[in-house]
Structure 1
Amino acid sequence: MDWLYFTEAETAALLLSIKVALWCTVISLIPGVATGWLLARKDFPGKPLLDSLVHLPLVLPPVVPGYLLLVLLGSQGIIGQWLQQQFGISLAFNWKGAVIASALMAFPLMVRAVRLAIMQIDARLETAASTLGASKLRVFLSITLPLAAPGILTGLILAFSRSLGEFGATITFVGNIEGETRTLPLAIYTYTQVPGGDAQAMKLVVLSVLLALAALFISDALERRAARHLASSSHD
């Protein structure tokens, strides 16, 4: 088998996986940073509940979030039916739904990385800036956000990598439709279910491993670069 040759179906699965993963990181960025900051810096009633809900997808079987998405956002779901009737938006059984499913499963990793990064920032720096007259927004944008940049980058890469490997919630919510929702994990599953598909499955497994390793390598490189930049800025 020529390992450098990809069929049209394999190429479509690869490109769709990258597309879904990129959109997943984009829509996770602002909510992830906001939630991570909230859990790291604020105490409020219900904080343990919010923390538990955010991290719930990490411990649930992936088909459970997928089924809940289908119930809520499916064509007959409470929210999905309203979106379809009012705006003509359909999320079930298309790539947009795959993005939602991947983002839901990757969101806890994004929040966890941001939260840990912000908790490591000396809160006295933020307090000092506030006492000097800086608004809360300016403190966040000029101090908190730059110092938490390595953690945010790590969270984005983790979300991207998690999205590339998402299977259970995706297949439950949007199915396994070639060219529409069949990402790399679903393509691998499909090839393992057909006679003679082991070679194609192994090729995609190797590709998935290489993509994950590349994402982790880039994450480490960006984190180190951001840390060096912050260290040099603090000495200036």
Structure 2
Amino acid sequence: MTADPGASRGVGAPRLLVLPAALAVGLLVLPVVALVVRADWSSLPQDVSSPAAIRALTLSLTTSLSATAICLVLGVPLAVLLARARGRGADVLRALVTLPLVLPPTVGGIALLYLLGRRGLVGASLDAWFGIRLPFTTAAVVIAQVFVAMPFLVLGVEGALRTSGHRYETVAATLGAGRWTVLRRITLPIVAPGLTAATVLCFARALGEFGATALFAGNTPGVTQTMPLAIYSAFNGAGVTQGSAVALSLLLVATAAAVLLVARAWRPGRAA
């Protein structure tokens, strides 16, 4: 039996989409190309291997990994509840979870200050009762990253759970499996590719966080100065040239790209 040539003509995207798609690729790729062209390659190795750059990159990776771990511990249960919940309350909760995605990062930083600052809604009690002061510490960097990155994880995992449905979970439950067994043996393995993708997006967002971190954690080298903040300081001439800002930008781009490529190669269910 031969395939119908006429049927294959309707498969694929219309040719009219090529031009806007090419423009979209240009808007996404050409800025990075401009960075590569603008870089001073003679001083690039020295700039990216300087102690300040290494400290900033190490802090960014450490805090981003910590933030991603917290997002997994807190965000996956929230995603499961949202995916299985119904009603107006679930819609309101989903909107609140999405809110950090549309808020300007600086607004998030101010909100965190008024919550956890020394005179904040919770921070005042932490300071008075336990002597804990979170603003302008490394912990504040992690909190800011969690605030802006968790929605990516929650919405990604929730979408994967809704797409997978709950047929297999129902079958397992009728066979006597408890809820924890169903979650551990059925639900999470089924959504593993979506969970992986959401985790990578969460980590990448935490790695690139700037606004909330600047306001809530400050810009202290070695303590709160992550790579985005180091790039901002370099670009504004804080003792270094703008060429250093370009070099640091390329280092951050290369780090993020490497993370995405490794995650894509490792992703469960990926075809060989």
Specify if TM > 0.5.
yes
- 8 Å CA contact retained: 1:157, 1:219: yes
Unaligned stretches of 5+ residues in structure 1: 230-236
One of 177, 196, 199 as aligned partner of 1:134: 177
Equivalent position SS for 1:179 = coil
- Amino acid across the alignment from 2:50: T
Instruction: Report the counterpart of residue 269 of structure 2 in structure 1.
Output: 227
Superposed counterparts of 1:1-236, under 5 Å: 1-5=42-46, 6-194=49-237, 197-223=241-267, 226-227=268-269
- Amino acid across the alignment from 2:117: G
Instruction: Report the counterpart of residue 232 of structure 1 in structure 2.
Output: none
Deviates more, 1:178-187 or 1:150-159: 150-159
- Amino acid across the alignment from 1:146: P
Q: Deviations over 1:115-154 (max 9, x none)?
A: 1211122411100111111111111111001111111111
Q: Is the radius of gyration larger for structure 1 or structure 2?
A: 2
Q: Distance in 1 between matches of 2:131 and 2:194?
A: 38
Unaligned stretches of 5+ residues in structure 2: 1-41
Q: TM-score with structure 2 length normalisation?
A: 0.80
User: What is the alpha-carbon root mean square deviation over aligned residues?
Assistant: 1.5
Q: Distance in 1 between matches of 2:205 and 2:171?
A: 38
Q: 1:216 to 1:101 in 2, by over 3 A?
A: same
Q: 1:124 to 1:179 in 2, by over 3 A?
A: same
Q: Deviations over 1:136-188 (max 9, x none)?
A: 11111110011111111112211111111000111011111111111000001
- Amino acid across the alignment from 1:4: P
Q: Distance in 2 between matches of 1:73 and 1:217?
A: 36
- Amino acid across the alignment from 1:227: G
- Amino acid across the alignment from 2:269: A
Identity value in percent: 42
Q: 1:3 to 1:94 in 2, by over 3 A?
A: same
Q: TM-score with structure 1 length normalisation?
A: 0.91
- Amino acid across the alignment from 1:117: A
Count how many residue pairs are aligned between Structure 1 and Structure 2. 227
Q: Distance in 2 between matches of 1:125 and 1:118?
A: 12
Q: Distance in 2 between matches of 1:16 and 1:186?
A: 11
- 8 Å CA contact retained: 1:153, 1:222: no
